[in-house]
Amino acid sequence: MTRSLTILGATGSIGRSTADVVLAHRDAFRVAAVVGGRDAEALAATARRLGARFAALADERGQDALRAALAGSGIDSGAGEGAVMEAVEREADIVLAAISGTAGLKPTHAAMKPGRRIALANKESLVCAGEAFMTAAREIGAEIMPVDSEHNALDQALAAGANRDVETAIITASGGPFRTWSRERIAEASPMEAAAHPVWSMGSKINIDSATLMNKGLELIEAHHLFGLEADRLGVVVHPESIVHGLVQWRDGALTAGLALPDMKVPIANALRHRERLVMSLPRLDLAAIARLSFEPADEDRFPCLAAARAALRAGGSMPTVLNAANEIAVAAFMAGAIRFYDISKTVESVCSSFSARKLPAPATVADALEIDGEARRAARQLLPDALEVAPS
């Protein structure tokens, strides 16, 4: 059965991998629309390759360039927020939501329609507005399928039993580039060293989050909303081979694990078709050849961002929104060379502390989430006077 698909974030790494899956299964998918950020040439090339009916660029300044790049293709196009929302509104069975950052909140939320599947790769939808997002999905009747390899593995592993029987759902971490480094050596790390992920090819910001283990903290928050599990039933284990992506420890002592080679096309294919598995011509996992899978605890002393994220999850309310906003500002400052590595966690902890006494409720809407996000970003900038010019809005 052919399903119509819209790809939000088509020119990013997740979008490119999704295009590979679609091109390998042309009979399974028809592309309704593709959305990109600023690169008109890349978006036009993707639209042409996939035979999309509509292409939208978030940056309205790229409208003429996009139109020129699509000349003669018969593909309609637009630029700016209105065009992005038009892409979201177009008829589609599945929306792959991979616009990164808070910029993805509005279109991802608007993409939810009765019976539509959202293949979710936008962390902020759950970290910043998880309660609002999941409540809306239930009320609307939209299906949320995780694309992240860890959550996708958990989704598959959790199918082995009932939530009430889950003792702990565990996501794995590669450990990032500093897994074996001492705290003293990590403290002196450069942005280039922090961005050198040992396994995955991701954007610079995500690579830094991997180095701090903040990405695992954010994924715990996502898992809480996706699977309805409390903070005390969620865990992290370091697994440098990145073969096991998620595990479920059941109360009877059994353990169910999701394994795959570290290739995002695997969870993307699963999220797009879920229980209707696609035939993927990817290398198969040969455990005998790998021979050894190793695991170790996550060290929250060397990686305090993970502890900060756990604390925000336990605190609930608006604290995950505040955590994410402060982290984005601090990471941008670190990447620009304005602060040192451990200043990221110090900034996050300080901003979260300043908000904790207010006990703000969880955002009820995307607008509420964006308001709290903006306030937390301003608080983070006040702690980083030398980074004001480099930290994004």
pLDDT tens digits along 309-318: 999 999 999 9
- Mean pLDDT, the chain, rounded, equals 94
Tell me: pLDDT of 364 over 70: yes
Residues 365, 370: Cα–Cα separation, whole Å: 9
The tokens describing 374, both together, are: 């903006």
Q: Which amino acid is at 54?
A: F
Counting beta carbons within 10 angstroms of the beta carbon of residue 133, is it exposed (0 to 12), middle (13 to 18) or buried (19 or more)? buried
Cα angle vertex 17, ends 5, 290, to 5°? Answer: 135
| pLDDT of res. 391 | 44
| pLDDT of res. 288 | 95
3-state secondary structure of 302: coil
Alpha helices in the chain, H assignment, sequence order: 13-24, 40-50, 63-69, 81-89, 105-110, 123-127, 130-140, 149-158, 183-187, 191-194, 204-212, 214-227, 265-273, 287-290, 304-315, 319-335, 341-356, 366-383
Helices and strands, counts by H and E, the chain: 18, 12
Non-local (6+) Cβ contacts of 143 within 8 A are 115, 116, 117, 118, 137
| pLDDT of res. 392 | 45
| pLDDT of res. 1 | 85
Residues 41, 95: Cα–Cα separation, whole Å: 22
pLDDT tens digits along 371-381: 999 999 999 99
List residues bridging with 33 in a β-sheet.
6, 54
Tell me: pLDDT of 261 over 50: yes
The tokens describing 25, both together, are: 């299964």
Task: State the first-to-last Cα distance of the chain, in angstroms, to the nearest integer.
Answer: 43
Residues 54, 61: Cα–Cα separation, whole Å: 18
Backbone angles phi, psi at 36, to 5 degrees: -125, 180
Residues 306, 220: Cα–Cα separation, whole Å: 9
The tokens describing 345, both together, are: 């966690």
Residues 62, 65: Cα–Cα separation, whole Å: 5
Backbone angles phi, psi at 179, to 5 degrees: -55, -40
Residues 224, 233: Cα–Cα separation, whole Å: 9
pLDDT tens digits along 139-180: 999 999 999 999 999 999 999 999 999 999 999 999 999 999
| pLDDT of res. 386 | 58
Tell me: pLDDT of 135 over 50: yes
* Residues 41-66, mean pLDDT to the nearest whole number: 97
| pLDDT of res. 308 | 98
Tell me: pLDDT of 200 over 80: no
Residues 289, 285: Cα–Cα separation, whole Å: 9
Q: Which amino acid is at 196?
A: A
Range with the lowest mean pLDDT among 34-43, 204-213, 253-262, 308-317?
A: 204-213
Tell me: pLDDT of 393 over 50: no
pLDDT tens digits along 274-288: 878 999 999 999 999
Residues 329, 101: Cα–Cα separation, whole Å: 12
Structural domains in the chain, sorted by start: 3-146 (3.40.50.720), 148-175+226-298 (no CATH), 178-212+299-393 (1.10.1740.10)
3-state secondary structure of 269: helix
| pLDDT of res. 103 | 87
Tell me: pLDDT of 390 over 50: no
Tell me: pLDDT of 72 over 80: yes
Using pLDDT thresholds of 50, 70 and 90, give the confidence band for residue 57. Answer: very high
Cβ(210)–Cβ(190) below 8 Å: no
Using pLDDT thresholds of 50, 70 and 90, give the confidence band for residue 100. Answer: confident
Range with the lowest mean pLDDT among 150-159, 190-199, 290-299?
A: 190-199
Using pLDDT thresholds of 50, 70 and 90, give the confidence band for residue 330. Answer: very high
Residues 40, 54: Cα–Cα separation, whole Å: 13
* Residues 357-383, mean pLDDT to the nearest whole number: 94
Nearest to 200 by CA among 133, 162, 245, 168: 245
| pLDDT of res. 79 | 97
Residues 377, 101: Cα–Cα separation, whole Å: 13
Question: How far apart, in Å, are the Cα atoms of 330 and each of 91, 164, 196, 380?
Answer: 39, 38, 18, 7
Range with the lowest mean pLDDT among 32-41, 54-63, 82-91, 197-206?
A: 197-206
| pLDDT of res. 117 | 97
CA atoms within 13 A on the CB side of 60: 5
Q: Given the structure tokens 């073969």, which residue do they identify? A: 243
